[in-house]
Amino acid sequence: MNRFVSSLGALVLGAAPVMYLLLIALKPHTLGGDIPAWITVSQLVAAFGVALLLGGAVMRRRPLGAIPSVAGARIFLYAGLANGFAAAVLAAPILYPGFEFPILITRWPGIYIVIAYTFFVIVGVIGMVAWGVILHLMPSAMDKTTVRRPLLLLQLGTMEVGVYVFGVSMFLGGYIGAALDYSGSGSIVVGAAMEATVIPAAIGIFLLIFSTILGVGNVALGKRDSGV
């Protein structure tokens, strides 16, 4: 039995009903009526969790590979630099007059654009660097020199996917909503158009929460042994 795969399957399977119940609770308050598609996604997530559980049950047990915490720190620092470059690229369209950002940012849905970009910088850039610093300081501050490689890679992956999904979803929602509001569309039309980006943004937040739990758990499981 592979504990890592089975544990991951249990987490995914546990997240599926939570997602389903939240969607059911949200359904009466929506305008666009696109909740059923996401309910199907929650069912697919449950099926994926079951597949991981079954796969972990038949897979051979393997010890979780270790990686030096300073090496993990470099990975997160490089990811932070890459996200910093991405933040600069995402800001570039603001300079193009055809997109009318200076005007649209003054409309009420434009706050989504501000939130998306601020969140991306804080979590995607500063947050990545912060995790790099934590991992770099582990040997001196906690007397731990290694962390679990699969957990670190899973943390990095869910953090990257989460921050991009949230940032892009909120950015697009704000831009679309601001453009509709500027053109004179009513609040119902604007709200319905922006709804399509709300659930992906929520999924991004969930992934970031999951990533944080993985990171804290990995630090707690860190060891003094420097062997990889």
Of 12, 29, 62, the residue that ends a domain is: 62
209 and 163: one domain? yes
106 and 213: one domain? yes
Number of domains in the chain: 2
Instruction: Compute how many other C-beta atoms are within 10 angstroms of the C-beta atom of residue 162.
Output: 23
Phi, psi of 67 (to 5 degrees): -140, 140
| Rounded distance between C-alpha atoms, residue 118 and residue 4, angstroms | 34
Question: Helix, strand or coil for residue 107?
Answer: coil
Chunk the chain into consecutive blocks of 10 residues (it has 228) and report each block's average pLDDT, rounded to whole numbers.
76 82 74 68 85 82 78 95 92 79 81 92 95 94 90 92 93 89 82 80 89 92 67
218 and 132: one domain? yes
The overall pTM is greater than 0.75 = yes
Name the residue range of residue 160's domain. Answer: 65-228
Q: Render pLDDT for 84-123 as a digit per residue (tens, 0 to 9).
A: 999 998 888 777 777 778 788 888 888 899 999 999 999 9
26 and 139: one domain? no
